[in-house]
């Protein structure tokens, strides 16, 4: 049971719909998009909504028993700072559970656009937001102060009729929960029609399915990290082991002799 929980980048309150008041007694929802919070879905948990930046959380140190975040942290400008902020507002022995889009997300779209721009315009500009590599995620969480870390990855593949439908979907109704047009301030604003047609052909040729559709891949990182508390289990000191891993190979023989 978590008396007080924080949802960072809550959007319209997607996580709250899957929590119960027996697990979370009170929930604070934080998002930088005021309209998203105003249109948040109601839940059975007593909820307070706060407009704030993930990199500057307006809460005191050691406030929350639980912090959650689902598919919003890839928008953060300074991810290490956001992790430090989350760690700071957690109570000792509090836990952070998060999910974010990872490095291979939309690689089909990115590759197709880059190849088309190189061919038609002699250079390319990124048109999809940058993503963190999974190899860096554990280091970032550890540097922020989290311990007993768990990091896992998953991939979801969505099929579309073609590239134009992929981009329409990303820029349309799903923009708040999974859409990924580029948020970089110095990106190239427009793609020429000929470049777009070339990208659609490349997408189909390189990644197209047998039924004529094209896949769009979303890679998701799941992470769990705890704030240190003296009650937590600690690793034994190096060199204090009394049994060698090499002895594991002998276990089967010892068991057989014991049964006899």
Question: Is 135 within 8 Å of 107 (Cβ atoms)?
Answer: no
Q: Which residues touch 35 (CB under 8 Å, ≥6 apart)? A: none
Residue 225: predicted pLDDT = 96
CB 225 within 8 A of CB 96: yes
Q: What angle do CA 9, 13, 17 make, to 5 degrees?
A: 135
String of DSSP letters for the chain: -BSSEEEET-TTTTGGGG--TTTBS-EEEEES-HHHHHTPPP-SS-EEEEE--TTS--S-SS-EEEEEEES-GGG-S-HHHHHHHHHHHEEEEEEEEEEEEBTTTTHHHHHHHHHHHHHHHSS----B---B-HHHHHHHHHHTT-EEEEEEEEEEEEEESSHHHHHHHHHTTTTTTT--B---TTS-----HHHHHHHHHHHHHHH--TTS-EEEEEEEEEEEEE---TTS--PPPTT--SS-GGGGGGHHHHHHHHH-
pLDDT of res. 131: 80
Cα 9 to Cα 13, 23, 26: the distances in Å are: 9, 20, 17
> What integer pLDDT is reported at residue 178 of this predicted model?
39
Q: What pLDDT is recorded for position 128?
A: 62
Domains in the chain, CATH or no CATH each: 1-101 (3.40.50.150)
Residues of the chain where predicted confidence (pLDDT) is lower than 70: 123-130, 172-191, 258, 260
106: region left, alpha or beta (phi > 0 left; psi from -120 to 50 alpha): left
CB of 199 within 8 A of CB of 116? yes
The whole-number pLDDT of residue 247 equals 78
Give yes or no for a contact between 82 and 73, defined as CB atoms under 8 angstroms apart: yes
């Amino acid at each position: 049971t978590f008396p007080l929980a924080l949802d960072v980048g809550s959007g319209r309150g997607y996580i709250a719909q899957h929590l119960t008041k027996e697990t979370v007694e009170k929930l604070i929802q934080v998002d930088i998009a005021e309209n998203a919070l105003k249109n948040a879905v109601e839940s059975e948990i007593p909820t307070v909504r706060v407009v704030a930046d993930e990199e500057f959380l307006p809460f005191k140190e050691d406030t929350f028993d639980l912090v959650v975040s689902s598919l919003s942290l890839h928008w953060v400008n300074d991810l290490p700072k956001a992790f430090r902020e989350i760690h700071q507002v957690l109570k000792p022995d509090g836990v952070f559970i998060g999910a974010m889009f990872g490095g291979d997300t939309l690689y089909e779209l990115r590759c197709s656009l880059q190849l088309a721009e190189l061919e038609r315009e002699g250079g390319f500009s990124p048109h999809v937001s940058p993503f963190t590599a999974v190899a860096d995620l554990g280091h970032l969480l550890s540097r922020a102060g989290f311990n007993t870390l768990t990091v896992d990855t998953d991939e979801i593949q969505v099929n579309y009729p073609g590239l134009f439908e992929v981009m329409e979907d990303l820029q349309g109704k799903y923009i708040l929960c999974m859409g990924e047009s580029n948020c970089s301030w110095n990106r190239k604003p427009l793609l020429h029609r000929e470049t777009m047609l070339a990208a659609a052909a490349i997408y189909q040729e390189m990644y197209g399915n047998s039924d004529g559709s094209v896949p769009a891949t979303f890679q998701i990182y799941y992470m769990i990290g705890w704030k240190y508390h003296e009650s937590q289990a600690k690793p034994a000191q190096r060199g204090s082991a009394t049994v060698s891993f090499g002895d594991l190979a002998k276990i089967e023989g010892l068991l057989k002799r014991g049964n006899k």
